[in-house]
Structure 1
Amino acid sequence: MRILLVEDDSQLAESLTEALVVQRYIVDSVRDGESAWNRTQVFVYDLILMDVTLPKLDGIRLCERLRDRGCSSPVLMLTARDTSLDKVIGLDAGADAYMVKPFNLQELLAQIRALLRRGQSGTSPILRWGDLSLDPCSYEVMYGRSPIRLTSKEFALLEALLRHGKRVLSRAAMIEQVWTWQESPEEDTIKTYIKNLRAKLKTAGAPRDLIETVHGIGYRLKRLD
């Protein structure tokens, strides 16, 4: 799942990014409201985590603009101002939740999980392809009854392949969905991740060719019989 972090405090932004990546989220981090707005025009985010006090475009106006333009991604606002009026203003602007700095990291992560679950309500979050299953909420991957331990990038890559099903996942789409915009992986890097993912799937009992290479285009899951 992809999160946009909008925080102008570089130290806090770095620590939050590190904590979120450990939880296997893909994190794009920007320092001001205008940059955040520009990122939302390129990517669809599963959640936006933003400070209220931001350069160029503050969090309240950013949230209002996002909602006015039809953005439905959950928004969690962070602020140092702990008054009822501030919370009302943030929620009225379209935020889904509000946390006051300094906050407990585990409480923040729990709030993020709750917002992501809410956004998935009414649909089964578990992705399946034959005996392969992936739960985006619990980060559990199984082949039959065999659990598969994946790195965050491997997990995101497999999730993207499952969401595409029999359609080919191009290398460009793979980079957009798995890597952050600050990263620019080489083709050999992608091949290495695919190779490692295939090896872990095979160890769990999956066919060697579960992930097929479509030469010159990208990758897809092998069609089910």
Structure 2
Amino acid sequence: MSLTKGQNVLIKDHVKLGENITIGNNVIIYEGVEIGDNVVIQDNVVIGKQPARAKNSILPEVGQLPPTVIGSGCTIGTSSIIYANARLENDVFVADLATIRERVTVGERTIVGRGVAIENDCTIGSKCKLETNSYITAYSTLEDFVFIAPYVVTTNDNYMARSKERFDKFKGVTIKKGGRVGANSTILPGRVIEEDGTVAAASVVTRDVQSEDLVVGSPARKLRNVPEDQLLRNQ
């Protein structure tokens, strides 16, 4: 095993490291984490953190979660946090200050941009691009080749933290293969963006977006079809 590491690195018990690993300064890798070959972990990263639960949280108590798995060829940027029971497939790039919560999977060659937050229980596909400071709410699914522009916000609570009725009705968003969302857009709980559906910048998505439709506005409505040369099948 070839390992290069900086100062103040803490690697806890039963961690599995592949070949050619580079670890920066002040990194913590918790128990049982598995890391593949040719991985770069930059300064101040935390991998395998167990989640903490607020006293008034509606989330159920959970025991010790299984370890984090980081695939080969990944880069984890400065001050990022990857929680326990997250899984990154090969060649994922995580930029500085990103957070990837528990029970999240990220597909191969996906880019998780600076300051991006992916909340618990999300599935992110392969070759996606989540740009700076976008927010992926809990219980969401993004399929392959999804593009999320900066400052996109997704939501999962129609009751905005009021009424016990909300407890069993949390529902994240679904963005199917090739879906795209423009900067500063908001997607309301449970909405589905079908394959190659596209949301223009600063839109508010209050209802599902059909395949190959371009929607715009607040509330977002169809403007036209996505141009043929922009469709995923024509790339």
Q: TM-score, normalised by structure 1?
A: 0.23
Richer in helix (by share): 1
Name which structure has the greater RCO, CA cutoff 8 Å, separation 6+: 1
Q: TM-score, normalised by structure 2?
A: 0.22
Richer in strand (by share): 2
